[in-house]
Amino acid sequence: MRNIILSVIGILLIVGSFFIAKQLIANKNKPKPVQAKIVKTVFTDTVTNSTIPIVIAANGSLEAKRRLEIYAEVQGIFKPGSKLFKAGQEYKVGQTLIKIDAAEYYASVQSSKSNLYNSIAAIMPDLRLDFPEVFDKWQSYLNNFDLNKTTPQLPEMTSEKENYFITGRSIVSNYYNVKNLEQRLAKYYISAPFSGILTEALVTEGTLIRSGQKLGEFIDTSIYEMEVAVSKTYANLLKVGEPVTLNNLDNTETYIGKVSRVNGSIDATTQTITAFIEVKHENLKEGMYLEANLNAKEESDAIEIDRNLLLEAQQIFVVKDSLLDVIDVKPVYFSDTKVVLKNVPNGTVILKKAVPGAYAGMLVKPFKDNTNSTEK
């Protein structure tokens, strides 16, 4: 019985092996499925070389071109004026910014002027007798002498005798002593040298002002300057008077300025050169942060593309017969997002947007775009 069971199992194994072998042979002869080729659709552009302006982007904050730091040269009490000495107060040219009490000093000036007048009056009889030819001009000087006005210049001396006579009476020294006092008296009144606005006030009416003390700052609000640092590569390209487009950070306002000055030295640390841009506009304020676009030069026979389209080996992808290929190019200028290239033949079809995983020989299909977007 046992032998019969083993014989049956052996026969079943042989039959099973036969069918399995037959199935394997059938699968081996079956053709493998062909995978469909994937063709990526890409955005392309046809090259047309042209003149590309090289625009240097820079930024900075505005500062008033004319600024006055107000310091006291004399001591006294700050007297109230027609306008409050407060930050934001506007003044016209010639208006008094600060008036310091000068009553005591004014009295000493008047005393010195009176002494000068008396000294000249005392020599008039001698002039009539000894120098009758110059008596009239000195008499006219006395007649025009006003203690409430600035001391007039002494008459011109026409002879050595007259000069010795006048100088010997200490009139010349007294005159210059008076003029010196008058010059100092003028320092008690500080006037606006130009129309502008007070941006800082460090004293108030009634304050005791001391000599050398800073009183505030006054700026001209009609014209501003912006200092920008530009790479030394463009040191020879910046020109004074070159127009500059300025934008605020939100790109909602545009202003037109010009390069007013270019520093003659390069910063050894940053290897940059400083340029100053002058701009006028009623909406501008000191401290505003602006972005500037300086026109450095123009590059002929060039194109401008996105920086991410330039490969590390200074090559770009081109499309030839529905296949990607690479060509060598010459970058001449890099900005934050763009690069200017040369040595790209006219009519070359290049990628307009980067393709992830792109490689030379990749099969692509150009996207049919009806808009005119030729790179220039």
pLDDT digits (tens, 9 = 90+) for 206-258: 999 999 999 999 999 999 999 988 877 777 777 888 888 899 888 888 999 99
Asked if 353 and 308 touch (Cβ cutoff 8 Å), the reply is no
pLDDT, residue 57, reads 80
pLDDT, residue 238, reads 76
pLDDT, residue 131, reads 84
Q: What are phi and psi of 159, to 5 degrees?
A: -145, 160
* Domain 56-64+221-298 CATH class label: mainly beta
Three-state SS for 26-63 is HHHHCCCCCCCCCCEEECEEECCCEEEEEEEEEEEEEE
pLDDT, residue 298, reads 80
Ordered by start, the domain boundaries in the chain are 42-53+300-366, 56-64+221-298, 67-101+188-219, 104-186
Q: CB burial class (10 A; 0-12, 13-18, 19+) of residue 147?
A: exposed
The CA distances from residue 58 to 249, 260, 265, 348, in Å, are 12, 15, 18, 33
pLDDT for residue 24 is more than 70: no
Asked if 185 and 107 touch (Cβ cutoff 8 Å), the reply is no
CA distance 371 to 47: 15
- Give the fold, CATH level 3, of 42-53+300-366: 2.40.420
Return the C-alpha torsion angle 153, 159, 161, 164, nearest 10: 40
pLDDT band at 29; cut points 50, 70, 90: low
Of 6-10, 80-84, 154-158, minimum mean pLDDT range? 6-10
pLDDT, residue 28, reads 58
Q: How far apart are the first and last CA of the chain?
A: 96
% residues pLDDT > 70 (the chain) = 91
pLDDT band at 36; cut points 50, 70, 90: low
| Residue 166, CA atoms < 13 Å, CB-side half-sphere | 22
The CA distances from residue 108 to 98, 172, 184, in Å, are 21, 19, 12
CA distance 13 to 3: 15
Average pLDDT, rounded, for the chain: 86
- Give the fold, CATH level 3, of 67-101+188-219: OB fold (Dihydrolipoamide Acetyltransferase, E2P) (2.40.50)
β-pair type (315-320, 323-328): antiparallel
Structure tokens at 210: 């001391």
**Could you tell me which residues come within 8 angstroms of residue 307 by beta carbon, excluding any fewer than 6 positions away?**
334, 335, 336, 337, 338, 339
Q: Nearest CA to 204 among 344, 78, 119?
A: 78
Assign 220 to helix, strand or coil: coil
pLDDT for residue 369 is more than 50: yes
Overall average pLDDT of the 62-70 stretch? 94
Is this prediction's pTM over 0.75?
Answer: no
Maximum separation of any 2 CA atoms in the chain, in Å: 180
pLDDT for residue 371 is more than 70: no
Of 197-206, 325-334, 364-373, minimum mean pLDDT range? 364-373
